[in-house]
A = this chain, B = another copy of it.
């Protein structure tokens, strides 16, 4: 793989310097650590406002929240759909937060596009090449989660599909792979993240919440991610994790996130980076 990668545009051979993507005045890649926080799913007006307010107070620039949720069982909560997207826009405006949310299917792109700053491609779609091609034609940054069964090369080839469409703003996201060990929800592959950084100029963030499935491990997994070279973190927090409609066990309580930021800042210092949440964001409406 390392001798003659199948990807070209995504490779360091094509572009040796780190790609830095600017969204709402925040830089993803380079020497700044980006931060996204928020619930797995938008559940209600009250829930998303409580969470958004706290995130905003911490100076975290981006809010995550699913409106269309891919769920293993059809009998589980599937997301608030369009209503969820509207709530995201509301809190974006009120609290001056950037928004990232998933596009679950090409047919939902028109619905999602106006309400988000970053288009998220979920793990389950990482190998949907028609979808990737079409999203390559859009003009918003794309967060491409690694598939649970994707090698590093396959992940970079998925990015290549998007880059070939003309969209150069691809952010990779490591979120754990599927292995025999189910002690954690997935196996966070940080040496894989380091390898991907070596091979590609694209920024890579880490999602310790999906990877571990366990809020007790978020701090350590986040610190390890940053030390491995991650350009940012996407962390699930909830105003009431114990009654969350999805992913409660892996969601931080709101106050836990506050307490962890200093740890992340110490690692940032150790790797000579600054933190996006210490920087005053520009006021931009979506």
**Residues on A facing B (Cβ under 8 Å):** 1, 6-8, 68, 70-75, 78, 104-108, 124-125, 127-131, 133-134, 147-154, 157, 160-161, 164, 176-184, 187-192, 194-195, 197-198, 208, 211-212, 214, 216-217, 220-221, 223-229, 263, 266-267, 269-271
Q: In the assembly, how many copies of this chain are there?
A: 4
4 additional A-B pairs beyond A107-B134, A194-B220, beta carbons within 8 Å, are A71-B129, A152-B181, A227-B267, A266-B270
How near does chain B come to A114, taking the closest CB pair, in angstroms? 19
Would A220 and B229 count as touching, CB distance under 8 A?
yes
Would A192 and B198 count as touching, CB distance under 8 A?
no
> A130 to B112, alpha carbons, bound, how many Å?
14
Given contacts A129-B71, A130-B107, A228-B223, contact A217 B191 (CB under 8 A): yes
CB contact between A228 and one of B7, B157, B161, B220 (< 8 Å): that residue: B220
CB contact between A181 and one of B68, B151, B229, B266 (< 8 Å): that residue: B151
Please, which residue of chain B has its CB at the minimum distance from the CB of A228?
B224
Please, which residue of chain B has its CB at the minimum distance from the CB of A103?
B130
Task: Provide 27 A-B residue pairs closer than 8 Å at the C-beta atoms, listed in order of the A residue.
Answer: A6-B75, A7-B73, A74-B133, A104-B129, A105-B106, A105-B128, A105-B130, A107-B130, A108-B130, A128-B128, A151-B183, A177-B180, A177-B187, A178-B178, A179-B180, A181-B192, A184-B192, A187-B191, A190-B224, A191-B208, A191-B211, A191-B217, A220-B227, A223-B270, A224-B228, A226-B227, A267-B267
> A107 to B217, alpha carbons, bound, how many Å?
40
> A177 to B192, alpha carbons, bound, how many Å?
13
Please, which residue of chain B has its CB at the minimum distance from the CB of A163?
B74
Please, which residue of chain B has its CB at the minimum distance from the CB of A267?
B270
CB contact between A177 and one of B7, B130, B181 (< 8 Å): that residue: B181
> A10 to B88, alpha carbons, bound, how many Å?
36
Contacts of A106 in B (CB 8 A): 105-107
Would A198 and B181 count as touching, CB distance under 8 A?
no
Would A153 and B183 count as touching, CB distance under 8 A?
yes
Please, which residue of chain B has its CB at the minimum distance from the CB of A196?
B183
Given contacts A149-B178, A270-B269, contact A68 B191 (CB under 8 A): no
Would A183 and B195 count as touching, CB distance under 8 A?
yes
Contacts of A72 in B (CB 8 A): 6, 127, 154, 157
